Amino acid sequence: MASGNEIFSVVMTLPPVWVFSHPILYNNIFQYLSSARGRPAVCRLAVGWHSLGSQQGELLRGTVGCFRSLLTKTRRQGSALGQLALQIGNGAGIFFQPGFQGLSTLPVNGQRQQCLPVIQRKGAASVITDDMQSGCSLCRWGRGLRHLQGGSAGLGHRAVVPCPAAKSKRGAQAKSFTHGTSVGATEDKEALPPWVLLSAVTRITGRQKNYFCIMAHQGEKEDHPASWKGDGMERRQTVPTLLQDLPRGVPDRRLDSAKGYTAAWRDSADLRNPAFGLCRLGYDPHQGRGLLLGSLEGQSVGVEDDRHIMTVAGSRSGKGVSVIIPNLLFYRGSALVMDPKGENADITAARRAKDLGHTVHILDPFQTVADRLADYRASYNPLCALDPDKDDSLVADVGLIGDALVMRSEREAHWDDTAQNWIEGVILHVVTWPTYKDCCDLVTVRHLLMHGTSHTADGETSTGMAGLFRQMEDNEAARGAIQAAAVEMQDRSPTEQNGVLSTARRHTKFLDLAQLQDVVQNHDFDLADLKRQPMTLYICVPASRLGLCARWMRLFVNQTLAAMEQEPTPRGMLPVRLILDEMPVLGHMRQLEDAAGQMAGFGVQIHGIIQDLGQLQHLYAGRWESFLGNSGVLQFFGNSDLSTLRWIAERLGKTTIEVVQTAEIPALQAQQGLTGRNRGREVVDLLAADEAARYFARADTLRRCLVIQPDTRPLILQRYHYREDTLFKGLWSER
């Protein structure tokens, strides 16, 4: 395509409704201007419209922010937008000047219409195309202005639109018009650069051919220095499509002089500035050192932060395809993955083993993953992590197992506490008594809880629970803790003793599953290996068995956190990431509650994934906000419950908006130019609860997600989909 002074134009005819859908209009214009990057061009958009009537004022106000944003966006993309002219067919011109913050009025048809000042300066005539059917005697431009309906007195073309025939040369003066009246000459050096000049064109071709016209001129790249900030206008980055339809807080539509409440959204400029947080635009996920959050303006956005992560997304909203799987495909640090249905292992295990160099173990008692991953299947015996010779830590380590096995209920707190003490005593006994050396596992513990054992002492043989009591009384290991557990049980009344046994058996019932017995009786790895080498551990349970196997899954969380605390953290090691999908299934966990504020310092990063904040509130009562407060990243999408939506609205804060109130006025006042409109400012939520439900909905075609980080403004990103985005092509395996 030619360059230089040649003018290129595009004409599109659209239905009137597009006039009011200015984000769509905006994007179409920008796409054309971007394609003609660095070349002069004229872009014209014509929309058939017969009568705007009372809606005209709303249209004018609604398009101001849109075109100012367009000006900024084309400049950031290397295009120099020279002129933008907007025409409404009934004779009212819209006048734009970058940086103009207020609104003025122009008498048209006996009424005062919304408009902005007009500036004409050197070079503007070069963008005018001589295609008008009528005009002035010099340039055939704007002659129809004097035929406006209503016959506005004194409203000639010189009063509204500068005559392009009045060309100016360097050092000469250029005409400038505002409010429909000439305000005299403006020196060349005081005028705006050609690539930021916006002027209005009013063209009347008859009552039946009224239309909406936009003209844009592009100059050369060198015409727009990077340091220019505009005529008092704050320099702002482009507004991505993800923000276009948001009601408030969009950078290009913020009040520049707003005071008080100033909540707003982050844009791409913020993501390039280290002062605005750890999120980065242009993040390279292939380095695998952080969390891939999504994309903005076609570029990946990620964060390298060792603090915890919390994803709050409704059921079937795409947590796996948008968050879990994309990060497992890239993250190079060790990971423990709670994997309901085995989907994450099916899709990412081969990639992590072959491409990322991880040792991969899949605990899959119910054979949920594909047979091609059979070589990665493994077993883990929680009791093998216990050292019977370490009396100083043995009781505490067994306590973690007991805490995992007993899922507490407030209504049965007494029975849960006593049952846990008894279970821990039996585990200590199995770990330290020589008879159980070759069968030291939870299956043996379950057998003893159900049937007891046979024990002979002083020539007397006891069987059942009595035999177990006698055997434990003879076990002096663990500094007497085993003997104390046996004596405590025998001192209880038969009724209470039966209640404790019944509760202990209920909490260990999952060990009767034959599939689980096979997995917990053998031992293929140590959890401390998560720090010693790159390792990924998948814990796979069918969705229908999550409740029954929750205690088994809790074991891994408790023992992993303990192992990470005890194992030294190598210098420069990436955090071990615990990806807890469907975290509420685990129930209340004291270890996890404490880890929310402590474990980040031990090289552990917890990524909790829940469906709504109500689940967190139910499980952790007064401390549920600790999970949110200690997280470096909060993600929200697909939320529909009121508690989560209200929390989002409150967390995002409030912003200040400009409001216009219109009242009916007498005809006499209207003739005097009064409009009955009052402008003021109002403090509102940056995003209301119902708006959060809509903009981040599961059905949102833009796949938007809300990202909140401490000490910075909120961010809206587009979620990835590993099946649809080319970033993941060739990395994942089919189920």
Contacts of 620-627 spanning 24+ positions with Cβ under 8 A = 620/588, 620/593, 623/593, 626/593, 626/596, 626/597, 627/308, 627/310, 627/596
Q: Once rounded to an integer, what is the mean pLDDT over residues 281-293?
A: 94
pLDDT value at 143 more than 70: no
Q: Using 50, 70 and 90 to split pLDDT, how confident is the model at 697?
A: very high
- What per-residue confidence (pLDDT) applies to 228? 25
Greater confidence, 181 or 698?
Answer: 698
Q: Any idea which of 52-56, 224-228, 482-486 has the lowest mean pLDDT?
A: 224-228
Tell me the average pLDDT of the chain. Answer: 74
Separation CA 386–CA 354 (nearest Å) = 32
User: What's the DSSP call for residue 269?
Assistant: H
Can you tell me the distance from the alpha carbon of 213 to that of 49, in angstroms, rounded to the nearest whole number? Answer: 11
pLDDT at 170 > cutoff 90: no
More confident residue, 9 or 407: 407
Choice between 345 and 260, residue whose per-residue pLDDT is larger: 345
**Cα separation, 148 vs 319, whole angstroms:** 59
Determine the pLDDT at residue 300: 95
With 60 as the cut, is the pLDDT of residue 225 above it?
Answer: no
pLDDT, residue 226, reads 32
Determine the pLDDT at residue 211.
30
Predicted confidence at residue 125, as pLDDT, reads 26
Q: Tell me, what's the pLDDT at 15?
A: 35
Which residue would you say has higher pLDDT here, 68 or 711?
711
pLDDT, position 600: 73
- Tokens representing residue 116 in the block: 């902005």
Distance CA 510, CA 326 (A): 33
- The region of weakest confidence among 75-89, 110-124, 472-486 is 110-124
For residue 665, the model assigns a pLDDT of 77
Predicted pLDDT of residue 364: 97
Task: Dump pLDDT digits (tens) for 630-676.
Answer: 999 999 999 999 999 999 999 999 998 888 777 777 877 676 667 77
- Inform me whether the pLDDT recorded for 149 exceeds 60: no
Residue pair 461/455 in contact (Cβ under 8 Å)? The answer is: yes
* 202, containing H or E segment: none
- Taking only the tens place, the pLDDT of each residue in 412-470 is 999 999 999 999 999 999 999 999 999 999 999 999 999 999 988 878 889 999 999 99
Q: Which of 258, 263, 318 is nearest to 294 (CA)?
A: 318
Name residue, tokens 């709504």: 612
Alpha-carbon distances of 534 from 93, 125, 303, rounded to whole Å: 66, 66, 21
Q: What dihedral do alpha carbons 116, 122, 123, 124 form, nearest 10°?
A: 20
Q: Are 198 and 90 in contact (CB under 8 A)?
A: no
Q: What is the reported pLDDT for 255? A: 63
Q: Is the pLDDT of residue 521 over 90?
A: yes
- Inter-residue contact 97 to 119 (CB < 8 Å): yes
- What type of residue sits at position 607? H
**Pair of tokens at residue 156:** 């000639």
- From the list 371, 381, 374, 370, the residue with the least C-alpha distance to 360 is 374
pLDDT at position 275? 63
The percent of residues in the chain predicted with pLDDT above 90, rounded, is 53
DSSP at 87? E
pLDDT at 27: 54
Is residue 677 very low, low, confident or very high in pLDDT (cuts 50, 70, 90)? confident
Closest CA to 37 of 85, 1, 87, 79: 79
Main-chain phi, psi angles of 87, to 5 degrees: -130, 130
pLDDT over 90 at 160, yes or no = no
More confident residue, 189 or 554: 554
pTM here? Answer: 0.68
Q: Look up residue 448 and give its two tokens.
A: 């003893």
**At 685, is the pLDDT very low, low, confident or very high (cuts 50, 70, 90)?**
very high
Name the DSSP letter for residue 54. Answer: G
Nearest in space to 298 (alpha carbons), one of 281, 315, 323: 281
What pLDDT, on a 0 to 100 scale, did the predictor assign at position 219?
35
Give the pLDDT band (50/70/90) at residue 11: very low
Superfamily of domain 285-380+524-728: P-loop containing nucleotide triphosphate hydrolases (3.40.50.300)
Query: C-alpha distances in angstroms, 187 versus 176, 178, 219, 228, 352?
Result: 10, 16, 21, 19, 66
Across 44-58, average pLDDT = 38
pLDDT for the residue numbered 30: 53
Tens of pLDDT, residue by residue over 609-632, are: 999 999 999 999 889 999 999 999
pLDDT number for residue 376:
98
Burial 570-583 (b: 16+ CB within 10 A, else e): eeeebbbbbbbbbb
Residue 174 reports pLDDT greater than 50 = no
User: Residue 77: is its pLDDT beyond 60?
Assistant: no
Given a cut of 70, whether residue 280 has pLDDT beyond it is: yes
Mean pLDDT to the nearest integer, 63-68: 53
Q: What is the pLDDT of residue 240?
A: 54
Query: Which pLDDT score, from 0 to 100, does residue 101 have?
Result: 31
Q: Is 69 a residue whose pLDDT tops 80? A: no
CA distance 129 to 7: 9
Beta bridge partners of 457: 460
Q: Which of 4-8, 68-72, 690-694 has the lowest mean pLDDT?
A: 4-8
Tokens 């909490």, residue? Answer: 507
Q: What is the mean pLDDT of residues 28-38?
A: 50
- Segment 563-587 shows an average pLDDT of 95
Among 57-66, 523-532, 695-704, where is mean pLDDT lowest? 57-66
pLDDT surpassing 50 at residue 360: yes
Q: Mean per-residue pLDDT for 47-56?
A: 37
pLDDT over 60 (residue 363): yes
For residue range 702-719, what is the model confidence (pLDDT) as tens digits? 999 999 999 899 999 999
Over residues 227-238, mean pLDDT: 30
What pLDDT shows up at residue 252?
67
- Reported as a single tens digit per residue, the pLDDT across 379-408 is 999 999 999 998 889 999 999 999 999 999
Whole-number pLDDT of residue 102: 30
Q: Where are the domains of the chain?
A: 11-235, 285-380+524-728, 382-515
pLDDT band at 267 (very low <50, low <70, confident <90, very high): confident
